[in-house]
Amino acid sequence: MKKIGFIGLGIMGKPMAMNLLKAGYALTVYDIVPERIKELVAAGAKAAASSKDVAKQSEIVITMLPNSPHVKEAVLGSGGVLEGAKSGMILIDMSSIAPLASKEIAEKVAKKGVVMLDAPVSGGEPKAIEGTLAIMVGGPQETFDQVKDILGAMGTSVTRVGEIGSGNITKLANQIIVALNIAAMSEAMVLAAKAGVDPEKVFEAIRGGLAGSAVLNAKMPMVLKGNFKPGFRIELHIKDLANALDTAHEVGVPLPLSSGVMEVMQALKADGKATDDHSGIIQFYEKLAKVQVRKA
């Protein structure tokens, strides 16, 4: 069985690494927060002192980090993966980063004989814990075939969508749809509450029809409880939409609705809610309408 390294044990990375351990994989882990490493070691992982150390001990290295600069630093920086990598190693970046950054990193690691896949995920913390993430992968078919079972320990939907960078293009498309779904849900439910109709009843009435969605089913119960504890933080969705807008403008695609919801998120960030779950988008509309959407 392949020796796997895992770098980045945050909200998403920790449960993903736990699921690899549960599946029986030998795992070496690293994070800049020592307490996170200890939790994984207690579950059976081996600790590493740096990203370089992870790569030295692994045939496959997985990174799960916040954004492009963090991945570049962990892979290409001093004490990074590339310094410890051997020719033939596979690097799977499961972070959500700019597609151009994925291509840039892939080109640089290829010079040392390392093959890279970009494999961002969707599903948030609950599905990371369950091991039911949707994983969208860019990179060579042959490499994808070698690691598909490993990815399957973390997700139930593992799809190769094209060459390197296409995984993150797919993730950006996903994040646009999720953001606009939450915004649409927010507008609709604030309207219902302000008009005196129980939003919980509205949710029950529409969830089985055309307006129903995985987003509605996941986020509306949180809103009704006023629970904005993050599964996926607003500040991270801002990052994804910034990458989406930058990429869209590079290829000549206007994104007017995405631009609008980006400004809603920026307003929430300015209001001190950057670390709320993205279901907290509804708070922007609640504030404007002077009403709260909560369970009666």
Catalytic machinery residues: 171
Helix (H) / strand (E) element for 268: namely helix 256-270
* Cβ atoms within 10 Å of 205's Cβ, excluding its own: 13
Long-range contacts of 246-253 (CB under 8 A, 24+ apart): 246/98, 247/98, 247/99, 247/100, 247/169, 247/172, 250/100
Residue written as token pair 């809103």: 223
Closest Cα partner for 233 from 34, 10, 7, 8? 10
Helix (H) / strand (E) element for 287: namely helix 282-289
| CA–centroid distance for 218 within its chain | 16
Q: What is the DSSP letter of 233?
A: B
